[in-house]
Amino acid sequence: EVQLLESGGGRVQPGGSLRLSCAASGFTFSAYALTWVRQTPGKGLEWVSGITGVGDKTYYADSVKGRFTISRDNSRNTLYLQMNSLRAEDTALYYCVKFYGTSGYYTNFDFWGQGTLVIVSS
Amino acid sequence: DIQMTQSPSSLSASIGDRVTITCRASQGINTYLAWYQQRPGKAPKSLIYAASNLQGWVPSRFSASGSGTDFTLTITSLQPEDFATYYCQQYNSYPLTFGGGTKVEIK
């Protein structure tokens, strides 16, 4: 059974930093691309960042480029999202999501975690 | 960026009704389209990939079609567990983008 368990969310002041983690199990971790998707309370879904299975390519939404860094540790089956220079508009529930394929190109999402909440507020 | 537009944004339906949701892409995306279901307080769940292929856990009352820019999701004989918000998403190109969602409510 595929499981994706996010952690690391919390409340932080504007300009601060957080690191989200996603512990994965139930599949061959390095064989699949992974991504972060966020959802603002009461609103829709926004893709944030993605990374290939081997970690050699990363992708970012313009809204987070230069502030967020996605990475993965295939020896620990863990995905990360380092979030710096946080803004109020980054407040959202952040989901760790598995791609069906390895590259993150032309491939859909198949499994989602339950999310971790990030609140950016003074 | 490819914009995804869903309609309607919400609808009311009764148990047993047939429901159709549409999704339009601002440019052609071949069949690189997925549909997700999100029940209240839960994470989204994958329903459809490649525009018309059901995930293995999805009941056959769900169907989907389309290619290029116009896509539909249909639920025949709506069941209580189908009341949720449905999102389309394109994966033809980055940035990956979602539709605004369609909330299916009980009439």
Cα separation of A80 and A35, whole Å?
10
What would the pLDDT profile of B2-45 be if each residue is shown by its tens digit? Answer: 999 999 999 999 999 999 999 999 999 999 999 999 999 999 99
Best of B46, B47, B55, B89 to substitute, by most chain A Cβ atoms within 10 angstroms, is B46
Identify the band that residue A104 occupies on the pLDDT scale cut at 50, 70 and 90.
Answer: confident
Contact B46 A112 (CB under 8 A): yes
Alpha helices in chain B (DSSP H): none
Place of tokens 């491939």: A107
Q: How far is C-alpha A75 from the geometric centre of its chain's CA atoms? A: 18
Cα separation of A119 and A35, whole Å?
20
Q: Which residues pair with A53 in a beta bridge?
A: none
Per-residue CA distances from A100 to A74, B36, B65, B69, B91 (Å): 17, 14, 20, 23, 12
Cβ atoms of B90 and A109 within 8 Å: the answer is: no
Residue B29's closest CA among A77, A106, A37, A122?
A: A106
Chain A nearest CA to B100, separation (Å): 6
> Residue A114: which residues within 8 A CB-CB, separation 6 or more?
A4, A5, A6, A95, B42, B43
Identify the band that residue A41 occupies on the pLDDT scale cut at 50, 70 and 90.
Answer: confident
Contact A113 B43 (CB under 8 A): yes
Check pLDDT > 80 for residue A43.
no
What would the pLDDT profile of B51-107 be if each residue is shown by its tens digit? Answer: 999 999 999 999 999 999 999 999 999 999 999 999 999 999 999 999 999 999 988
In degrees and rounded to multiples of 5, residue B101 shows phi and psi of 100, 150
Q: Which amino acid is at B42?
A: K
Contact B91 A113 (CB under 8 A): no
The arithmetic mean of pLDDT across residues A47-72, rounded, is 97
87-106 in A: which are within 8 Å (CB) of B?
A: 95, 100, 106
Alpha helices in A45-111 (DSSP H): none
Q: Which two tokens stand for residue B3?
A: 């914009």
What would the pLDDT profile of A74-101 be if each residue is shown by its tens digit? Answer: 999 999 999 999 999 999 999 999 999 8
A3 touching chain B per CB within 8 A: no
Look at residue B30 in the predicted model and tell me its pLDDT. Answer: 97
